[in-house]
């Protein structure tokens, strides 16, 4: 007599637990565990890949220089930014406006620093004239990591670049993104499909040997 009641109760509780999850899952398009595609966090500095990689056409590896030689492409250190931003401190329009204003008012133009670049200079402890200011503390720029595979999987940029894979194959058309968004799922199935496809069709007409062994990534 008692047993069916217990079973019903358990099932009811189970349904009660599962229902909100189902709703949630539907709302999120049945995303699998660990699938972060669409992730587009706000970064501490509103750096625009569209401007740098797209409009200005700077090569990805100019800043992500580890991609060719290391497993990590790397996020550029602030001193890489300073290669250009020692001189370029604000958008061209703003500088021109200030130059024109200065000419009108018959004074020397002031250095214009855009608010986003100010964050970079603050991190490096640079004052208004971009000189090191001992009163300012240097602080690391804490970017939010977008593309990440789990700790039990190893991804190596070198191998992929060496095989001729474009950055965009995994990272999407970053040169069009104002704020970077994860476009791929970075799931294992997605990786393996690409490896199979590469083995069958080659990459850019070149035959490649993309490993399918588990231990190619998991160790």
Contacts to another protein by CB under 8 A: 14, 17-18, 20-22, 24-25, 28, 30-36, 39, 41, 65-66, 69-72, 74-80, 123-124, 138, 140-145, 148, 150-154, 156, 158-159, 162-163, 209, 211-216, 218-219
Token pair for 201: 């069709």
Token pair for 121: 């200079």
Select 8 or 99, whichever has its Cβ closest to another protein: 8
Eight-state DSSP code of residue 87? T
Query: b/e for 171-191, b at 16 or more Cβ within 10 A?
Result: bbebbebeebebbbbbbeeeb
Residue 83's CB is within 10 A of a number of other CB atoms, namely 12
* Nearest approach, Cβ of residue 24 and another protein (Å): 5
Q: Which of 171, 175, 168 is nearest to 50 (CA)?
A: 175
* Nearest approach, Cβ of residue 137 and another protein (Å): 11
Select 194 or 216, whichever has its Cβ closest to another protein: 216
Select 31 or 50, whichever has its Cβ closest to another protein: 31
* Nearest approach, Cβ of residue 115 and another protein (Å): 20
In angstroms, the CA 183 to CA 185 distance is 7
* Nearest approach, Cβ of residue 195 and another protein (Å): 13
Select 35 or 133, whichever has its Cβ closest to another protein: 35
* Nearest approach, Cβ of residue 174 and another protein (Å): 15
Select 100 or 166, whichever has its Cβ closest to another protein: 166
CA angle 151, 156, 160 (to 5 degrees): 140
- Hey, which residues does 132 pair with through a beta bridge? 126
* Nearest approach, Cβ of residue 148 and another protein (Å): 6
81, 86, 117, 140 from 123: Cα distances, Å:
12, 14, 10, 6
Select 35 or 98, whichever has its Cβ closest to another protein: 35
């Amino acid at each position: 007599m008692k047993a069916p009641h217990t079973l019903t109760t358990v099932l009811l509780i189970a349904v009660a637990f599962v229902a909100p999850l189902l709703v949630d899952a539907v709302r999120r398009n049945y995303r699998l565990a660990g699938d972060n595609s669409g992730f587009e966090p706000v970064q501490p500095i509103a750096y625009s890949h569209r401007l740098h990689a797209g409009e200005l056409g700077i090569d990805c590896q100019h800043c992500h220089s580890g991609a060719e030689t290391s497993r990590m492409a790397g996020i550029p250190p602030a001193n890489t930014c300073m290669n250009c931003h020692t001189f370029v401190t604000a958008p061209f329009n703003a500088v021109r406006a200030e130059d024109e204003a200065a000419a009108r008012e018959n004074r020397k133009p002031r250095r214009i620093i855009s608010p986003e670049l100010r964050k970079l200079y603050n991190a490096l402890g640079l004052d208004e004239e971009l000189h090191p200011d001992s009163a300012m503390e240097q602080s690391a720029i804490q970017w939010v990591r977008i593309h990440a595979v789990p700790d039990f999987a190893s991804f190596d940029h070198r191998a992929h670049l060496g095989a001729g894979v474009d950055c965009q194959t995994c990272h999407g058309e970053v040169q069009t993104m104002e704020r970077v968004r994860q476009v791929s799922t970075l799931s294992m199935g997605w990786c393996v499909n690409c490896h199979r496809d590469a083995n069958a069709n080659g990459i850019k007409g070149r035959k490649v040997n993309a490993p399918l062994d588990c231990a190619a990534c998991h160790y």
